[in-house]
């Protein structure tokens, strides 16, 4: 997601705020302090909406990379697409259901507790807390209902894709759901030209989101067909455990690796990451040996999907994954790097 920045993390999941949220806050603050307060509260409820998706994902052991918050909702980026369509529609439905629950709760609260705001006299246009609570209730109900629109990449579009995937290939289900999303996005934008500029912005967001995510999803599913052995580098540059860090860095630069592969007598020992080496002062790297630093015991089989290697790279925050054979897991037969993944991406585009 471009044009967003990290504002914190929840349960270890990075939370990013899209620049459109900031622009909306600035514009609204210029016209009305009350609506500025509403938008700030909406930010909180959108976060809860997205965390509900993440909670279901964690239940099914699906890792969430990050959450990006937009004014009309958010996007939870997951590490992998659920294998079972039933999991996806449960994940997608969680957000709107939580928004509906919050909206109904606030409506009930609005009826029971009409308490005046402490700053009501300073802001005459905010007479009671009931006004604010009622508006927040309506916003949450709108947020839940809007996200159920069957237009990809909205939650409703993901539910539609999951239902279609029960009857057809996942890639075809994505295409159909995205096509509906694009059509609705265009119609919404055209309708908004005459009635409401905000609808134009939402329509454009839906169209672009459907286009980008469709491309990403289809290529990802196609990349699953690319084997590690098809894109790995057979020439392996490694160091011995007793190699100094300075010498290891020279090997890294010559081989254009971002991490160090360690072998002893032809047997794979592990990976020493660039970050671990950079923790050591330059003057100490001449004496310290590779075996004195922490090593990651990770590898992939040559017949696995390149996506498995990519997941390891993301999870371990490394750029080098050794490739071994199932029969001889201690012998490295190649390496996969970020360049390998990029090559696999190009191959996937050609296979579509």
Backbone angles phi, psi at 324, to 5 degrees: -130, 165
Return d(Cα 102, Cα 95) in angstroms, integer: 11
Q: What is the DSSP string of 123-154?
A: STT---HHHHHHHHHHHHHHHHHHHTSS-TTS
The alpha carbon of residue 77 and the mean position of all alpha carbons in its chain are separated, in whole angstroms, by 2
Total residue count of the chain as it appears in this document? 352
Nearest partner of 226 among 344, 333, 325, 321, judged by Cα:
344
Return d(Cα 125, Cα 243) in angstroms, integer: 72
DSSP conformation class of 88: H
Return d(Cα 317, Cα 159) in angstroms, integer: 32
Active site residue 50: yes
Catalytic residue among 50, 88, 213, 263: 50
The pair of three-digit structure tokens given for residue 205, joined into one six-digit string: 């967001």
Q: Which residues are catalytic?
A: 50
């Amino acid at each position: 997601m471009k044009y967003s920045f990290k504002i914190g993390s929840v349960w270890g999941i990075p939370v990013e705020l899209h620049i459109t949220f900031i622009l909306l806050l600035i514009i609204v603050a210029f016209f009305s302090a009350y609506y500025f307060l509403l938008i700030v509260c909406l930010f909180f409820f959108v976060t809860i909406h997205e965390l509900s998706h993440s909670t279901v994902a964690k239940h099914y052991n699906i890792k969430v990379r990050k959450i990006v918050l937009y004014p009309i909702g958010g996007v939870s980026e997951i590490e992998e697409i659920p294998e079972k369509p039933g999991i996806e529609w449960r994940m997608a439905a969680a957000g709107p259901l939580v928004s509906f629950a919050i909206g109904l709760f606030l409506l009930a609260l609005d009826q029971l507790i009409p308490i005046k705001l402490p700053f009501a006299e300073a802001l005459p246009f905010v007479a009671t807390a009931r006004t604010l609570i009622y508006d927040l209730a309506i916003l949450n109900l709108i947020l839940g209902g809007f996200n159920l629109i069957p237009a990809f990449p909205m939650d409703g579009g993901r539910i539609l894709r999951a239902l279609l995937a029960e009857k057809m290939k996942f890639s075809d289900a994505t295409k159909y759901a995205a096509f509906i999303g694009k059509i609705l996005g265009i119609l919404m934008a055209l309708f908004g030209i005459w009635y409401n500029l905000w609808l134009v912005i939402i329509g454009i967001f839906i169209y672009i989101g459907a286009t980008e995510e469709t491309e990403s999803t289809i290529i990802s599913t196609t990349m699953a067909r690319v084997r590690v052995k098809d894109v790995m580098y057979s020439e392996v540059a490694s160091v011995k455990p007793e190699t100094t860090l300075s010498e290891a860095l020279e090997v890294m630069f010559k081989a254009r690796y971002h991490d160090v592969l360690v072998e002893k007598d032809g047997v794979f020992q592990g990976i020493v990451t660039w970050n671990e080496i950079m923790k050591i002062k330059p003057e100490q790297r001449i004496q310290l040996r590779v075996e004195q630093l922490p090593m990651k015991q990770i590898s992939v089989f040559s017949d696995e999907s390149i996506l498995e290697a990519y997941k390891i790279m993301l999870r371990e925050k490394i750029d080098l994954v050794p490739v071994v054979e199932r029969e001889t897991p201690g012998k490295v037969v190649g390496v996969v790097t970020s360049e390998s993944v990029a090559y696999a991406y190009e191959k996937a585009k050609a296979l579509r």
